[in-house]
Structure 1
Amino acid sequence: MIYTVTFNPSLDYILRLDHFTAGEINRVNYEQVLGGGKGINVSIVLKNLGHDSTALGFVAGFTGDEIKRQLGEFGVQNDFVQLEQGFSRINVKVKADKETEINGQGPDICEAKQEELFAKLDKLTAGDTLVLAGSIPKTLPDDIYQRIMAKLKDKDIRMVVDAEKNLLLNVLQYRPFLIKPNNHELGDMFGVKLTSHEEIINHAKKLQAKGAQNVLVSMAGDGAILLTADGISYKCPAPKGTLVNSVGAGDSMVAGFITGFMESGGDFERAFHMGVATGSASAFSENLATRPEVEELLKSIA
């Protein structure tokens, strides 16, 4: 079974308008409210690609109820820890001349509720896949990723981690199966700006030296690079298309990689191509990638 964890889910209020002017009334020409968060996006795309998963994490209030309702409409199972106080955050995504995001904080999560999540994770068994993705709210300890991976390290669970800087660097000692930084995040980890494929591969190798098994680096419109545990590197340019919505593209790449890996019986090149096609399909659509969209893009890759 595949499980995803989203520590700080959200309702994303997505707005489009021709121009945005601060300090004035602005009228939108498109709006949509979508349940979001990196792990949730992974679960939705997995379902779109034909694979079940269970979404874990924390939800609260009326916004948490809407997140669960939307997941139900997608056919995604969830087993969230329900918080009694506060509400799941609302993130505002303004798409005009420039993209502007205003992200909420999220509810307080007490230690007792954290233990509820650990109890759910304790039920995972050998052969399961666990995706840990995204930021953590300020009321969770900074080492929450490490604590989870330490508890599960002897269970033969395939661990996938998609998080920024220290959240990612601090779990490499537990040898995650796959990590997915983007090229900017990879550079930030080492305090450098990466300008070539060679530099990206060299720094991905540094993450492997710290414990990561396979490193998938997304590069937006420039495609992606995969460095496998046995030292093979794959490069793939992004398929041609019109960028519509970049939100969730990286999460879609993770879902596509997992799908390709499972369906091919562990073929990394197939998994890589499926990941690139799925990330691009989401970027070229108002919504997250569907199977037909991914299959069409795969024709131009594989």
Structure 2
Amino acid sequence: MKAWIIAFRLRTLPLALASICMGSFLAAANGFFNGLVCAFCILTTVLLQILSNLANDYGDTINGADSADREGPSRMVQSGAITLPAMRRAIGLFIVMTLASGIYLLYLSFGFDVKAFAFFFVLGLLSILAALAYTAGRKPYGYIGLGDLSVLLFFGLTGVLGSYYLFAQQVNWLLLFPALSCGLFSVAVLNVNNIRDIESDKKAGKYSVPVRLGRSKAVVYHYFLLTIGILSALAFTALEFHSWTQLLFIVTVPLFIVNAKAVKNKTKAADLDPYLKQMAMSTLLFVLLFGLGYLIA
């Protein structure tokens, strides 16, 4: 049981929930909220994230990224704590549970609206496929540096705009700004992970963005992600300004600065690892303060 809990990587769940929380706050602030829809948004997202983590554990082992040379936390398949067949069965189980939860979520949101149901069902299938194909399969896209784009799309634009639409059945183009903030901060979490693993990824032939750019340019890239994320939030606030409470999220800026400094100065994997969780929690706190400030404005 301990091995499975480690494989679930529960510390990644706050980041996965950030986009759902953002979409829910924005919907509530505009008068569109349903507690049951919110609950199944959260459940579906948690199941999908755990599925992604299990597939990542499996894929990185069979493709060589999780080897004895890896400096980050050990993975359960690579360490032998979980067998490959057992992991495949678990992945199958979480696919089924994610689909079941997602289908009921779509029924709660759209009822028998076939077009909306079908569109979001296909989007859900693409999300599952993206979770599986990141490191698993013959040509995992995470190994050619496309993980950042996937995270931006699914943890940002799709997560925020999609969850908002499940509540409201409509969307406003201005919501692209907070969606972009969520996506960029999520990419920053992945970037910390990839900078930490840069040497072992090189050996495994995993060409993440930091491997392609080199460490120094990857640090500049990290600064870019954090800066544009904050500026996107400020742009939305300026365009939708109602009250100074909307600037509550500003208190999280020092946390992002701390993370940026750590990425630059912490050159050992063990020293950088805690800042993965710090970045994920900072993102969730940003979302909560941004959403709360907009809700009470």
Q: What is the TM-score when the length of structure 2 is the normalising length?
A: 0.32
**Structure with the largest fraction of strand:** 1
Q: What is the TM-score when the length of structure 1 is the normalising length?
A: 0.32
